Amino acid sequence: ARITLRQLLDDAAEHGYGVPAFNINNMEQVLAIMNAAAAVDAPVILQASRGARSYAGDIMLTKMVEAAEAMYPQIPICLHQDHGNDETTCLSAIQIGFTSVMMDGSLKADMKTPADYDYNLDITRRVTEMAHRVGVSVEGELGVLGSLETGEGEAEDGHGAEGKLSHDQLLTDPDSAVAFVRDTGVDALAIAMGTSHGAYKFSRKPDGDILAMHVIRAINERMPGLHMVMHGSSSVPQDLQEAFNAAGGEMPQTWGVPIEEIQTGIKYGVRKVNIDTDCRLAMAAQFRRVATEKRAEFDPRKFLQPAMAALEALCRERFEAFGTAGHA
């Protein structure tokens, strides 16, 4: 059954759990995530980027989610537009059945000037008015994702912003967050607290200086009912890096967001936890392993089946770690 982000995160807040939001692009990812959810009785957020929509095509993407609903009628599914960049993307997502959209005003405006804030505020408010009229939820974003280690805002494209931003400019300002939520009416707010997208987040295990958990606590103090969203929340586990590299991959040593930091965030109001990189790595390590171990193999299913099993195991771990399990 389809559920809005608001309905799901309200339940998560009431019961004190978080919900991983996994990115989907193809049938194998949908099946693996749904199998994991069914195994532990967890509600799911399936999120599709603009890239996912053009990769699969809107019809294929939405029909896959319809198929998942038919196959797993007991599992609530929120279909969410990840990083919507403008009103057209959000509106078209709503038209094809998404129950939630992210209006990411920080994609265009990097929040360095008051004009950037006003742009983000205006467009997010317009999208929220439109979405709420038809019962769809909205996630906004305030702040700039990027590593506090390097001081680079990534302008959300993973390639780094032009200028260097200071720590304070990258992080979400708690007072502005409260005003932004009040003035836009968003159902959930993505915050910048030191994470970035992709595999290369930190060059050592992040501590309190690098991950700004104090931002989460400060926002939670000011607005206890607010549903916060953590982007860039892959943990990039060492065992997945090793599996990838053992099969001929070349991933330089890197660190992601430790599970225990996400669990702390959930204690202080983080309700949606975005994970894509870990899913990619889990699958790709299996592609490499099969390619190396079975050099005569050319049946795509022999690559995809172990990749699905690895993704399913990863999703299950996250459902259990975030307390989502048992709440379908």
Q: Does 139 bind ligand G3H (CB under 6 A)?
A: no
Concerning whether 157 is annotated as a catalytic residue, the answer is no
Give the residue ranges of DSSP H helices in 85-212: 87-95, 114-133, 167-170, 174-184
**Cα(208)–Cα(78) distance, rounded to whole angstroms?**
32
Q: How far is the CB of 268 from Na ion (least distance, A)?
A: 20
- What does 49 interact with, of Zn ion, Na ion, ligand G3H, none (CB < 5 to 8 A by kind)? ligand G3H
Q: Which of 6, 80, 125, 197 binds ligand G3H (CB under 6 A)?
A: 197
Q: How far is the CB of 231 from Na ion (least distance, A)?
A: 7
Give the position of tokens 């949606």. 272
**Cα(130)–Cα(271) distance, rounded to whole angstroms?**
23
Work out whether strand 270-275 and strand 77-84 pair parallel, antiparallel, or are unpaired: unpaired
Q: Which of 28, 110, 152, 276 binds ligand G3H (CB under 6 A)?
A: 276
Q: How far is the CB of 66 from Na ion (least distance, A)?
A: 21
- Angle (CA) 100-106-112 rounded to 5° is 155
Q: Does 235 bind ligand G3H (CB under 6 A)?
A: no
Q: How far is the CB of 321 from ligand 13P (least distance, A)?
A: 15
Length, in residues, of the chain: 328
Q: Does 318 bind ligand 13P (CB under 6 A)?
A: no
Q: Which of 29, 49, 62, 196 binds ligand G3H (CB under 6 A)?
A: 49
Contact of 37 with 319, CB cutoff 8 Å: yes
Contact of 102 with 190, CB cutoff 8 Å: yes
Q: Does 289 bind ligand G3H (CB under 6 A)?
A: no
Residue 235's closest CA among 268, 207, 277, 283?
Answer: 277
Q: Does 327 bind ligand G3H (CB under 6 A)?
A: no
Q: Does 324 bind ligand 13P (CB under 6 A)?
A: no
Contact of 187 with 139, CB cutoff 8 Å: yes
Helix (H) or strand (E) holding 118: helix 114-133
Nearer to Na ion, 104 or 152 (CB): 104
Residue ranges of the annotated binding site are 83, 104, 141, 197-198, 231-234, 274-277
Please report, as ranges, the residues that interact with ligand G3H according to CB under 6 A.
23, 49, 51-52, 82-83, 197, 276
The residue ranges that bind ligand 13P (CB under 6 A) are 23, 82-83, 197-198, 231-234, 274-278
